[in-house]
Structure formats: C-alpha cells, structure tokens
Amino acid sequence: MPRIAGVDIPENKKVRYSLRYIYGVGPQTADDILKEMDIDPDTKARDLSDDEVGRIAGYIDANLIVEGSLRRQIQQNIQRLRDIRSYRGERHRKGLPVRGQRTRCNARTRKGRKKTVAGKKGVKG
C-alpha cells in the first residue's frame, strides 16, 4: 500500500481519488498535484512506481499543509476566535452553527440530539 504524507492511500482506486484520503487534499488539489508531477490521473495507485510516489510525497511536503499540522492550525484559529471573544468564537464555544445558519429548526449536526423541554399541559381556562 503506497504511503504518502504519513497516510496509507487505497491502492485499488485511481490516483486522483486515492490522494483525497490525505486530510487537506481535495479534488482540485489532487488534480493539480498530478498535473504538476505529469502523472496520468486514471492510473491505479498500485501501479505507481516508487519514484512517482516519492515525487508526489515530496511535492506535498514542500507545498501543502496537510494532516496533523493542518488540523493543529485549524484548532489554533478556532482557539484564537474563542480567546478574543468574537461572535464566531462564542458560537464555537456554545456548539452552535458558526456561519449564520438558522437554528429554529435544523442545526441538529451542531446542536446534537434533541433535548425535550417539559412544556405546559393543556391549561383550561
């Protein structure tokens, strides 16, 4: 199994899809890497030579922030927003949507499972 940037990429898939298993490499970046290295995007990852794998790994190390360092950078950015008590930082702290989405309905991904609040029973009056 080829190992690039500390990640085992699947060898039965085409290279353009296998590279996306690296955190921080998406569709556009994967295609850009392959174009820069002059590698056919439709070749399977197992068919790459050691030289090609080395060139891809070298390019990623030299030009991209991926995996652990990218995760750390994102966490530091979020922590900075929390520390300066910005609106976005407060939304992160409370576990609510950060980018202006509505919360009256939906937003379950950020808010978690429903917490049922006891309401009034039918009041006769």
Summarised one tens digit per residue, pLDDT across range 11-59 is 999 999 999 999 999 999 999 999 999 999 999 999 999 999 999 999 9
pLDDT at residue 121 is higher than 80: no
CATH 1.10.8.50 holds for 3-63: yes
Domain 68-111 bears CATH identifier 3.90.950.20: no
All CATH 4.10.910.10 domain ranges in the chain, comma separated: 68-111
Other beta carbons within 10 angstroms of residue 90's beta carbon come to 13
Q: Is 48 exposed, middle or buried (0-12, 13-18, 19+ CB in 10 A)?
A: buried
Q: What is the mean pLDDT of residues 111-119?
A: 87
Which segments of the chain belong to CATH 1.10.8.50? 3-63
